[in-house]
Amino acid sequence: MTPRPPPHALKEALLLALLYAAAAALSIALSRQPGSVANLWFANAVGVGFLATASRRRWPGLMLAVIAGNLLANLLQGLPPSLALAFLPANGAEMLLAAWALRKVGFGRSGLRTPGAMLQLLAIGAIGAQLVGATLGAATLRSLGAGDFWSMWQRWMEGSTIGSISLLALVICLRRDDPALIRRDLLDWRALALGAAAAGVTLLSRRTCRFRSSTSRSRFSLPPSCWS
């Protein structure tokens, strides 16, 4: 597998800012009650995917892009600046910890095309770092009087975990893999069949089942990310 050459640093940062803002705005619009924690959070998966596949020399610029995207999405949704800023430390710590740990265990040397590599990615990038992010985020918001610690911790943990399981592997594959390999995987009959099945189950569940929250709905549409 031949990895892609690294993009220009400024273009990479601008792309990350736009993608993070879009993912954050989508997550907020889909799942969050005003002024609270999103039930479904895709944005950190985008940030971790970029950080884990970029040189550490680019991390400061990429983190500035994440901050800009996060603030933009929250402010456009009408959050007060103080509350929009309150989300930054926990989100930043979660993404940096996940990216650092993934690089520390050397996930990039073998890619994501083995079951062991995928389990490692999910354990570190979709569960382990989220424990830290949820704790910091809930504590920060609790100190601002935004709600109960444990309810916010649960929503943060659940939303960020589901978002990362859904998107992180896909972001990393798109960043690392050769375009020809990606096209081959997307046209693989297994990917097409499972994609159609996931879409069908999602549409059917929305018509026939009642859910208490948007997080429950999201569990029916977790996409397959990479194929060997």
- CATH (domain of 34): 1.10.1760
Hey, what's the torsion of the CAs at 81, 132, 18, 49, to 10 degrees?
Answer: 170
Say if residue 211's pLDDT is above 90.
no
Say if residue 165's pLDDT is above 50.
yes
| Domains held by the chain: number | 1
102 lies in a domain? yes
2 lies in a domain? no
217 lies in a domain? no
60 lies in a domain? yes
Task: Say if CB 95 and CB 44 are below 8 A apart.
Answer: yes
pLDDT of residue 203: 64
88 lies in a domain? yes
pLDDT of residue 220: 37
18 lies in a domain? yes
157 lies in a domain? yes
Give the separation between CA 103 and CA 114, rounded to whole angstroms: 17
* pTM, to two decimals: 0.79
Q: Which of 18-22, 30-34, 55-59 has the lowest mean pLDDT?
A: 30-34
**Residue 184 CA, distance from chain mean position:** 24
pLDDT of residue 8: 80
Give the mean model confidence (pLDDT) for residues 144-148: 83
The token pair that represents 69 in the structure block: 């995207």
Give 128's DSSP letter.
I
Mean pLDDT of the chain: 80
**Range of 120's domain?**
9-186
> How sure is the predictor about 224, in pLDDT bands with cuts at 50, 70 and 90?
very low
Count CA atoms within 13 Å of residue 132 on its CB side: 16
221 lies in a domain? no
Give the separation between CA 216 and CA 30, rounded to whole angstroms: 12
